[in-house]
Structure 1
């Protein structure tokens, strides 16, 4: 009996020792995850699963790593394996519910969440905690807060709950509440360094850049290898550089150095490389971005986001056809909702640079997603207008004018009208007969300018020219006359303009065209206008000839 007892005791000691080792390993995995060392976390968890295939928690946290690094299918499969391996462990159901929630299957999410709650012990708040995190991912912050409050009611001393509440409040744009939640989280558990990170980010949002940097440096004073602190220092110095243009170069240099330390203190996983790539875009370091993207492509050719980086970098480095190819590859590999306005903006410009006019439709998609992209299209339109590609310029100016809040909207409407006008003028007579709609669009554009800026004379001049072309040449209704008259009236308020030969020439044009119209209906008035032309410009040849034909 004593032998048996000793054997049992020895066995229990062995079990306890193994459990302690694996518990520590799971803690190490969580620590690596928090430090954004995702590859290391993944490696630890896979080893744990191999050693303990029936332990559900290892599958759950591995699924979380996959989800964090945008491998949704792998996350889904891992949570499912966790359920198969340990059907009584609740959190893998939360994982499955999260996948359903992100796929907008609310009913499927609820079924899984309810299952998790039914399996949880009375004092176990983790299902509510991770359900709250799921709703944060789904951007349903109100529901997230409801679940997190439930988790808090079960365990008010759980710093993780307050950390998640801070994230939910940030998403819900309740910054004061978020700051309080993060502060409580860190006060409760000094190991929750991300809570301290979020406090520093809150300070940065108020543009207190030095104080924000101090927060991150305080973290590094306790843990010099905590990678997220280096990343946030980089972001802080980037924002600081933008806020102080006279120190831009020096602060950007520091920002890039901090991001280098971030990379050194992660395992250079694809996710950390992508974060670095995002920063390189912000910093305008496109040569470095292209190199980084090419290295990422060698690591993982299947991740579509790499092609986005390649597309952006190739464009900025003047490799337009490569940019088009990379961005088309990216868009063909991702769900439509993952394509952002910036993707179409780069693709459209790259196509135009590669002489592919379908770039206009890509730019239209960019503007449809985010109207802010309308304003920079003004410069693209101007390039085409200067190059006398009037039809293409008109299409681009049409997009540029779609944002009425744009600072250049009046200017863009004027050049939109000009592009239509010159596009029409460049067509053959036969084509012009079928293209009057172009003139109608030009007239509408100039009309907008005259309404928004009534003292701009050229809008009336071009409306007059357009309406002259719209009128019936054989039976004129004088469509041009009121606009020429308005042009004359506006110039009368700008006597200084007469020092410009261009205005004198255009004024003579207005007098002559009004006079020509009145030759048929009011000869006295016609003579009056022709005499104004001669008084303005004695060298004008048309007015004297017209007066002769009127018997004067």
Structure 2
């Protein structure tokens, strides 16, 4: 699978040139630029047989690295160096493999050997080393800058590709966006028709949320090459980020029509469909790929997610469990949302203990995910693990105070029968939002729960709730159940006090709120019967 993914959305591209016409390394490099990897590899394998040389070997090995096949790349570079022990490109390739494995000392040894072999005068070697660092996980860009600066020195600062690499290196620095943009601008100054440089600028503008400039950059790429699929992909993603979903889908469909016809392209398209909530489309793409490649990890993931999103919970649970079986081959590929979705599925099927365990795994990987925090807290409550739910909400509130989370915390305290603490929280919410009727209802319910002898201690609180709830007619529907509870309670207290007229008033109001409630019918019949009975004075 090609590396460099955004969330579950992979990044791919296309190029109209057919493999049948790609005859040189330069043709291959153009294919790789637009990420048309299958055609590039087919050409390189053919060239490696018909016209083997260090440049062909380097590009083939580097392509394996882009696919994440480090061992295959290592074999190619090692074989090439064995054939020509003076091959500087093969040394750079082995250095890049070492970087990918985290062995910086070995990488430096290979890079310095390549520079020594070319006497420090070959700009292409410095560019390859700079690109190796740009493609790696090495965060310190000092060495990388040194190498690419040597490339620019050798080319008298007049090589567009070197400046694109320089920009990519600067992007490894969290604050390097300005320097990166300067480098890309210089590349365009050198080569005004460099589509790759404009694409990089567009991507950087998206990163800085300058969407108008990003759109202009992507459209410039398309103007230079209407078949440059990555521009449509990135434009589609940008449209998605800004909420222009119709345009996002339109551009991504163009990308899909131009992109390389491969499983990787289908994965990216299915991922985009999922993000735009086209779950039926996602399922169709996933199922098509899984017929050919049943162990495809990403498509199994998307299958499970989409089944859940379409409310097919049992099927989703089965698909998710199958996904985890496949993922055991490489557990590092499991992501936080996998555990989150699995936890949701388990919670929906009543398996609360397993649900909380998986939601906790999701939070361990992504502790700032608010949705998972809320779901974990809800699962804790279902499992009656109130202390864990309380701790979760307290952590959230400490990080970012919120009346919504205060209310949820109060609900947990109430469920745990820690009534005084819950009541105090509800009182605080009322102080902040005096019009919030539900908080009044909860205080009344707590007062009722604490009144074990049913002495009517909650009477005043329920009366206050009715007063506040009736102040906003637009909330009548949402307050309907609460008003029923309040009127029924107050009717019962009046009935106990033998105030039949008041009881009838409250219970009649309750019946209007819930006409089918049998308890209210019985209560009203009891009042009617009591009112028909003769009073003590009449019996005399």
Q: Tell whether the structures are fold-level matches, with TM greater than 0.5.
A: yes
Q: Of the candidates 210, 218, 234, which is equivalent to residue 216 of structure 1?
A: 218
Matched, 1:150 2:154: no
Q: 5 Å matches for 1:299-338? A: 299-301=292-294, 303-317=296-310, 318=312, 319-329=315-325, 331-336=327-332, 338=333
Change (3 A) 1:267 1:498: closer
The answer to whether the Cα contact below 8 Å between 1:133 and 1:164 also exists between their aligned partners in 2 is yes
Q: Which residue of 2 aligns with 1:129?
A: 127
Q: Which residue of 2 aligns with 1:70?
A: 68
Which residue in the other structure is 2:16 paired with?
Answer: none
3-state SS of paired residue (1:371): coil
Q: In the alignment, is the contact (CA less than 8 A) between 2:343 and 2:358 conserved in 1?
A: yes
* Alignment partner of 1:269 is 2:269: no
1:197-276 matches, within 5 Å, as 197-205=199-207, 207=209, 209-240=211-242, 242=243, 251-276=244-269
CA gap 1:539/1:495 in 2 versus in 1, 3 angstroms: closer
Cα deviation, residue 99, structure 1: 3.0
In the TM superposition, residue 29 of structure 1 has moved relative to its aligned partner by 0.6
Match of residue 535 from structure 2: none
1:351 equivalent in alignment to 2:346: yes
Cα offsets for 1:61-93 (capped at 9, x unmatched): 122222223333333333333333333222333
What's 1:529 paired with? Answer: none
State the shift of 1:109 in Å. Answer: 2.7
Whole-Å separation in 1 of the counterparts to 2:161 and 2:468: 72
Q: 1:276 to 1:498 in 2, by over 3 A?
A: closer
Q: Are 2:263 and 1:286 aligned?
A: no
Cα separation, 1, equivalents of 2:199 and 2:90: 28
Q: Deviations over 1:99-134 (max 9, x none)?
A: 332333333333333333333342213343333333
TM-score, structure 1 normalization: 0.67
C-alpha distance in 2, partners of 1:86/1:468?
91
Distance 2:261 2:21 in 1: 25
1:412 partner SS: helix
Tell me what 2:104 maps to. 106
Contact residue 188 and residue 194 of structure 2 kept, 8 A: yes
C-alpha separation between the residues in 2 aligned to 1:109 and 1:540?
89
* TM-score, normalised relative to structure 2: 0.69
Q: Deviations over 1:321-349 (max 9, x none)?
A: 2342243135313243x433222222221
Cα distance between partner residues in 2 of 1:105 and 1:343: 31
**2:182 is aligned with 1:186:** no
CA 451–268 in structure 1, closer or farther in 2 if over 3 Å, else same: same
- Tell me how far apart the structure 2 counterparts of residues 22 and 269 of structure 1 sit (CA, whole Å): 19
Mapped partners of 1:89, 1:299: distance in 2: 40
- Give the whole-Å Cα distance in 2 for the aligned partners of 1:306 and 1:25: 34
Partner of 1:31: 30
Q: Secondary structure at the match of 1:267?
A: coil
* CA deviation vs aligned residue, 1:213-263 (integer Å, no higher than 9, x gap): 3332332233222111111221232233x1xxxxxxxx4233222212212
Matches of 1:60 and 1:466 in 2, distance apart?
76
Contact 2:45 2:60 in 1 (8 A): yes
Secondary structure of the 1:333 match is coil
- What CA RMSD, in Å, does the superposition of the two structures yield over aligned residues? 4.2
Residue of structure 1 equivalent to 2:512: none
Is the partner of 2:170 in helix, strand or coil? helix
Distance 1:322 1:22 in 2: 46
Equivalent pairs, count: 441
Q: Deviation of residue 196 (structure 1)? A: 0.8
- Residues 295, 496 of structure 1: alpha-carbon distance in 2 compared, 3 angstrom cutoff: same
Please report how far the alpha carbon of residue 307 of structure 1 lies from its aligned counterpart in structure 2 after TM superposition.
2.9
Change in Cα spacing, 1:499 to 1:304, as seen in structure 2 (3 Å) is closer
In structure 1, what is the Cα distance between the partners aligned to 2:184 and 2:131?
15
CA distance in 2 between counterparts of 1:335 and 1:94 reads 31
Once the two structures are TM-superposed, the CA of residue 460 in structure 1 deviates from its matched residue by 8.8
Pick 1 or 2: higher relative contact order, CA cutoff 8 A, min separation 6.
Answer: 2
Instruction: After superposition, give the CA deviation of every residue in 1:353-409 in whole Å (9 maximum; x if it has no partner).
Output: 344331212211222222332345436755886xxx352677566545543345433
The alpha carbon displacement at 1:445 in A equals 7.8
Structure 1 residue 49: deviation in Å? 0.9
Residues 1:60 and 2:58 aligned together: yes
Deviates more, 1:391-400 or 1:87-96: 391-400
Matched-pair contact (CA < 8 Å) for 2:88–2:118: yes
- For structure 2, the 5+ residue unaligned runs are 1-19, 433-438, 470-481, 499-540
- State the distance in 2 between where 1:366 and 1:381 align: 13
SS at match of 1:87: coil
1:171 paired residue number: 172
Aligned to 1:159: 160
Residues 146-178 of structure 1 deviation map (CA, whole Å, 9 limit, x = unaligned): 432233233322211211221222332322222
